[in-house]
């Protein structure tokens, strides 16, 4: 198999389906984490008011999380997605070129 044929395989529809499927799985996993973070705080406010009303540096824990911790956590989830997505693409590309059909 020549280098030109390998590049054509990497650009094939099967290759794109594999990458899109893996990235969808990763997206859903990280969406679930983000969903738990986003909706976990109101549930904690309702079910554990003693913990969320505890004061740290003059803020209640819930406001500390909303005002300070929420954005770094959002950036962290986005960073993990980008790094894992690029890694998945690299592994699938290498496996496709080696002739393993893009399987992890």
Listed residue (81, 1, 67) closest to 34, CA to CA: 81
Half-sphere exposure of 44 (CA within 13 A, CB side): 17
- What is the spatial distance between Cα 65 and Cα 97, in angstroms, rounded to a whole number? 46
pLDDT surpasses 80 at 82: yes
User: How much is the pLDDT for 81?
Assistant: 94
User: How much is the pLDDT for 72?
Assistant: 92
- Reading the block at residue 90, the tokens are 């690299």
pLDDT surpasses 60 at 58: yes
- What is the spatial distance between Cα 95 and Cα 10, in angstroms, rounded to a whole number? 10
Is there a contact between 89 and 19 (Cβ–Cβ < 8 Å)? yes
Average pLDDT of the segment spanning 64-82: 90
User: How much is the pLDDT for 78?
Assistant: 93
pLDDT surpasses 90 at 6: no
Who has greater pLDDT, 14 or 80? 80
Average pLDDT of the segment spanning 58-73: 87
pTM of the model: 0.70
């Amino acid at each position: 198999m020549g280098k030109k044929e390998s590049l054509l395989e990497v650009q094939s529809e099967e290759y794109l389906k594999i990458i899109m499927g893996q990235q969808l799985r990763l997206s859903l996993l990280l969406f679930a984490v983000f969903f738990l973070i986003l909706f976990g705080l109101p549930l904690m406010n309702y079910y554990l008011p003693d913990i969320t009303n505890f004061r740290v540096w003059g803020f209640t824990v819930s406001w500390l999380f909303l005002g300070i911790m929420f954005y770094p956590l959002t950036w962290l989830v986005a960073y993990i997605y980008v790094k894992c997505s690029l890694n998945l693409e690299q592994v699938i590309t290498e496996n496709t070129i080696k002739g393993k059909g893009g399987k992890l």
